[in-house]
Amino acid sequence: MEAFSERSDYALYVVTVATARGETSGCLAGFVTQCSISPPRFVVCLSKLNHSFYVAEHATGIAIHLLGDDQTELASLFAERTGDDYDKFEHCEWHRGTGGAPVLEHCAAWLEGTVLERFSVGDHEAFLMSPVTGGAGHHTGLLTLRNAPPFQPGHPGAP
């Protein structure tokens, strides 16, 4: 497994969610992938230890944001702080999307969608998302696992 993982690279996403009551959360995630072309679908996997997972369990909408290769500070905010005791959204610009999830003002690109299903995939929960809207941001490049600094997870024990 280690030999395979060492050679892999993938985009890092900021995933944001909100409940109908208005509670928001977000985290840095690497386990996000498109899983269907027609209809378009994405799978977003969140660690079951993260604050974002607990909010996402009650969310109907979810947003995923690709970050530009110059956005390590924003990535750090969502990777190294926990929503258990810190409001990340006080430290970045965002607006509420059409489905209620926070949409970051500064990113490379974003999609917002509806959560269709949730299912356990080990120490993460998978959220099947149907995109509803999206857009391009002003940042270029792509922040990936390989070109990002080594983040320290904000929630103890989180991968």
| Boundaries of domain holding 110 | 2-136
Q: What is the CATH number of the domain that holds 92?
A: 2.30.110.10
**What average pLDDT does the structure give for the chain?**
92
- Each residue's pLDDT tens digit, 66-106: 999 999 999 999 998 877 777 899 999 999 999 999 999 99
pLDDT band at 159 (very low <50, low <70, confident <90, very high): low
Q: Is the pLDDT of residue 7 over 90?
A: no
Indicate whether 150 belongs to any domain.
no
Q: Does residue 155 belong to any structural domain of this protein?
A: no
Residue 81 domain-assigned (yes or no): yes
Q: Using a CB cutoff of 8 Å and minimum separation of 24, what contacts does 112-119 make? A: 112/61, 112/62, 112/63, 112/64, 113/42, 113/61, 113/62, 113/63, 114/60, 114/61, 114/62, 115/56, 115/59, 115/60, 115/61, 115/62, 116/41, 118/56, 118/57
Tell me the whole-structure pTM to 2 decimals: 0.92
- How many structural domains is the chain composed of? 1
Residue 155's pLDDT is 57
Residue 16 lies in a domain: yes
Residue 141 lies in a domain: no
For residues 11-36, average pLDDT? 94
